[in-house]
Amino acid sequence: MSAEPKSRARRGVDRLDILDAAFNLFAEVGEISFSIRKLAATIGVDPMTILHHFGSKDELLRAIADYALRSVEMPSATKNWRADLKAVANAYRLLAHRHPRVFPLHFRYNATGPADHISSEIVYCALRRAGLPDASAAGLGLAFYAFVLGFALAEAEGLLKAIGPAEEAELNNLDPKMYHATQDLIPALKNLDPNAVFNDSIEVFISGVADLAKLKPRLVPIPECAAKCA
């Protein structure tokens, strides 16, 4: 008797098996080369089996993003809102370092799933503890993620690395009268430390939150957050 075709060999595969394989494939090939058909061939199921578990390719990609986030240890909330924002920012930066091909998916969804909601709760609690009213906490919570995700992606793409000889030569060839500040910074750009830049950037964001809380103070008590303090 001939063997059953590979695409029909594992109909009993469960959702977690599919998600694990999908994450590994996506992390290896990136979005351009990723497809439901290629994933199905990899794990030996029919493409419709995958869609049965996830509904659509978009929902599968959202699940892959959340799966990746669960590979990074998310901090617990503390009584120090500044430390909480730094800890969440560092977690997402670590995610970008570990899974650079998967990381861009986090720009696509307001939240990727349970792991993302855990981090959001910590951030929103921190902004409320800083003294911001809810309208400002909601907007700055999203701005926080826009900043952190954007920084991490820029770093992954090489924007935050120290300039090399070619870039230095290009800057030196600029008109010194028009670009004196740029040329003055060449030594610093040659020795750029991404970790220092990231830490300085987070400090600037946090200082801005503290200043805004003084200008627009919270007028109602802060409810207890679901993200329990450690």
Radius of gyration of the chain (CA): 22
Predicted local confidence at residue 5, as pLDDT: 40
Average pLDDT over residues 92-113: 92
Task: State the Cα–Cα distance between residues 228 and 84, nearest whole angstrom.
Answer: 12
Give CA 219 to chain center in angstroms: 32
Contact 207, 200 (CB under 8 A): no
**Residue 158 in tokens:** 């090489």
Contact 78, 84 (CB under 8 A): yes
List 229's β-bridge partners, or say none: 77
Residue 77: φ, ψ to 5°: -65, 145
Predicted local confidence at residue 3, as pLDDT: 40
> Which position has the token pair 């075709």?
5
Question: pLDDT at residue 7 above 60?
Answer: no
Closest residue by Cα to residue 54 from 21, 19, 28: 19
**Residue 99 in tokens:** 């899974």
Question: pLDDT at residue 12 above 70?
Answer: no
